[in-house]
Structure 1
Amino acid sequence: MIKVYFKQALMLMRQNRLFSTLYIVGTGLAITMTVIVAVVYYVKLAPVYPEVNRGNTYYLSGTSFERNKDGRFQSWSYAYSYRALQEWFYPLKNAREVSASTFGAVKYIQPSDRSGDFPVRIIETDPAYFRIYAFSFFDGQPFTQSDLESGIRKAVITDKLARRLFGKENGVVGCQFLLDYETYQVCGVVRGASHLTTRSYADLYVPYSTMEGYRDPAYSEVPYCGPFQVTVWVEDGKQGKAMCEEVYEIVRKQNLLHETDGLKMNIEDDPVSHLRASLMMSVGGEDGNWWRAVRYLLFILLTLLLVPALNLSGLIASRMESRLPEMGIRKAFGGRRSKLLLQMLWENFLLTLVGGVLGMVVAWVALYGCREWVFRVFDRYTWLVPEGTDVYVSGEMLFAPSVFLITLLFCLILNILSALIPAWLSLRNPIVCSLYEKR
Structure 2
Amino acid sequence: MIRIYLKQAWSLLKENPLISGLSIAGTALAIAAVMLIILVIQVRMAEYAPESNRGRMLHVIAMRAVEKKNDGSTNNGYMGKSVVRELFYNLKTPQVVSGYARRTVSVNAAGKRTFSKYSATYTDERFWNIFDYEFLEGAPFTREESESGVCKAIISEKLARRLFGKTEGITGQRLLVNKKEYSICGIVEDVSRTARFAYADLWMPYNSNAAMETPANVCGGLTGYFNVAMLAGSTSDFSAIRAEVEKETRQFNANSPEYEISFFSGPLSNFDLIITNYMGFIKEIPYAEWFLTQGGFILFLLLLPALNMIGITITSFRKRRAEIGLRKAFGATAGSVFSQVVNENLVITFIGGVFGLVFSIIMLWLTRDIFFPSGSEINLSMLIRPEMFLASLFFIFLLNLMCAGIPAWRAGKYNIVKSLNNQE
Question: What's the TM-score once normalised by structure 1's chain length?
Answer: 0.88
Match of 1:252 in 2: 250
Using the TM superposition, give the Cα deviation of residue 143 of structure 1 relative to its aligned residue in structure 2, in angstroms: 1.2
Residues 338, 411 of structure 2: 8 Å contact kept: no
- Structure 2: runs of 5+ lacking an equivalent: none
SS class of match (2:119): strand
User: Of 367, 371, 380, which residue of structure 2 is paired with 1:370?
Assistant: 367
The structural deviation recorded for 1:331 is 2.2
**1:197-346 paired onto structure 2 within 5 Å:** 197-217=195-215, 219-257=217-255, 263-281=259-277, 289-291=285-287, 292-346=289-343
Q: Report 1:148-159 matches (<5 A).
A: 148-159=146-157
Q: Which residue is equivalent to 2:393?
A: 408
User: For 1:120, what is the secondary structure of its paired residue?
Assistant: strand
RMSD: 2.5
In the alignment, the residues of structure 2 paired with residue 315 and residue 115 of structure 1 have an alpha-carbon distance, to the nearest angstrom, of 68
Contact 1:280–1:288 (8 Å) recurs in 2: no
Structure 1 residue identity aligned to 2:300: T
Q: 1:435 Cα deviation (Å)?
A: 1.3
Structure 2-normalised TM-score?
A: 0.91
Which stretch of the first structure deviates more once superposed, 218-227 or 233-242? 218-227
Give 1:65 deviation, angstroms.
2.3
The aligned counterpart of 2:89 is 90
SS in 1 for 2:168: coil
Instruction: Go from structure 1 to structure 2 and tell me whether the alpha carbon gap of 1:38 and 1:189 turns closer, same or farther (over 3 Å shift).
Output: same
- Name the count of aligned residue pairs: 422
Cα displacement string for residues 84-134 of structure 1 (whole angstroms, at most 9, x for unaligned residues):
22221112111110100002x211222468583222111111111111111
Could you list the structure 1 runs, at least 4 aligned residues long, displaced by more than 6 angstroms after superposition: none
Structure 1 alignment gaps of length 5 or more? 377-383
Q: Which moved more, 1:75-84 or 1:319-328?
A: 75-84
Q: State how far apart, in whole Å, the 1-side matches of 2:166 and 2:336 are.
A: 65
The change in CA–CA distance for 1:115 and 1:20 in structure 2 (over 3 A counts) is farther
**How do 1:97-176 and structure 2 match up within 5 A?**
97-103=96-102, 105-111=103-109, 114=112, 116-176=114-174
The residue number in structure 2 matching 1:399 is 384
**Partner Cα separation in structure 1 for residue 255 and residue 264 of structure 2:** 19
Is the CA contact 1:345–1:415 (under 8 Å) kept in the aligned structure 2? yes
Aligned partners of 1:208, 1:266: CA distance in 2, in Å?
23
Matched residues in 2 for 1:216 and 1:72: separation?
A: 22
Percent identity at matched positions? Answer: 31
Q: 1:262 to 1:88 in 2, by over 3 A?
A: closer
Shift of the alpha carbon at 1:148? 0.8
Aligned with 1:84: secondary structure?
A: helix
Whole-angstrom CA distance in 1 between matches of 2:212 and 2:86: 15
1:6 alignment counterpart: 6
Partner in structure 1 of residue 35 of structure 2: 35
Question: 1:45 is aligned with what amino acid?
Answer: M
- Are positions 1:424 and 2:409 aligned together? yes
Distance 2:111 2:328 in 1: 83
Residue 194 of structure 1 corresponds to 192
The reply on whether 1:436 has 2:421 as its aligned counterpart is yes
Native 8 Å contact 1:27 1:355 kept in 2: yes
Q: Per the alignment, do residues 159 and 344 of structure 1 end up closer, same or farther by CA in structure 2, a change over 3 Å counting?
A: same
Offset at residue 359 of structure 1 (A): 0.8
Give the drift of 1:72. 8.5
Q: Contact 1:218–1:225 at 8 Å: present in 2 too? A: no
Displacement, 1:264?
A: 3.9
The residue identity in structure 2 corresponding to 1:345 is V
Residues 266 and 282 (structure 1), Cα distance of their counterparts in 2 relative to 1, 3 Å cut: closer
How far residue 307 of structure 1 moved from its aligned partner, in angstroms, is: 3.1
Please state if 1:349 is matched with 2:346: yes
Going from structure 1 to structure 2, the CA distance change for 1:415 and 1:287 (only over 3 Å counts) comes to farther
